[in-house]
Amino acid sequence: MSRIGKQPIVIPPQVTIEISDYKVMVKGPKGQLEQQVLPEIKVEVKDNKIYFTKTVETRRAGCFHGLFRTLVANNILGVTQGFFKTLELHGTGYRASIEDNKLKILIGFSHPVIIEPVEGIQFEVEDNNIIKISGIDKQLVGQVAAKIRDIRKPEPYKGKGIRYQGEKVRRKAGKAAKSGAEAGA
């Protein structure tokens, strides 16, 4: 049995939970999220806690037991606190700005890259080279951050590109200069 799936989720006072037809609706101060649950997992609310139990003892039910508990816990965290990812731009002339609620990135291409905001996602730019992506859906925040990072991943020779805050980029040595003895031969 899943160790994570066995743990109940404590419902904060400002959050309401509705369970119907294998769906868990989570409403909080920042918004509302919905999570589909498989029929093999039973969700019930008792004493201001959410419990997840398997209705059948199959391998499939065991695989999803802890997953759905974690997804609902993330939804509760999202509607109360929210999630964010921070990206850094490294490189000469690399900068970002917000224009007309769209993210505009100058990253060394011949044209600026313009990113439309996805519903439920907000962009903030600090110091022209730090992009903060925030929202209530953890998966959506991570996906948008990964798409922005894919525009120009950090390259290993000079370290230029877009990276997550705190990400370490393994640097490679460039071409080694030939030694004087070999150059004359």
CATH class given for the domain over 83-164: alpha beta
Task: Give the pLDDT confidence of 138-168 residue by residue, as tens digits.
Answer: 999 999 999 999 999 999 999 899 999 999 9
Tokens of 72: 């609902």
Comparing CA positions, the residue from 53, 56, 79 lying closest to residue 68 is 53
Average pLDDT over residues 104-113: 94
Per-residue pLDDT at 89 exceeds 90: yes
The DSSP string of 108-147 is SSSS-EEEPPPTTEEEEEETTTEEEEEES-HHHHHHHHHH
User: pTM score, two decimals?
Assistant: 0.86
- Which residue intervals of the chain bear CATH 3.90.930.12? 3-80, 83-164
- What is the CATH architecture of 3-80? Alpha-Beta Complex (3.90)
What is the mean predicted confidence (pLDDT) over 115-123?
93
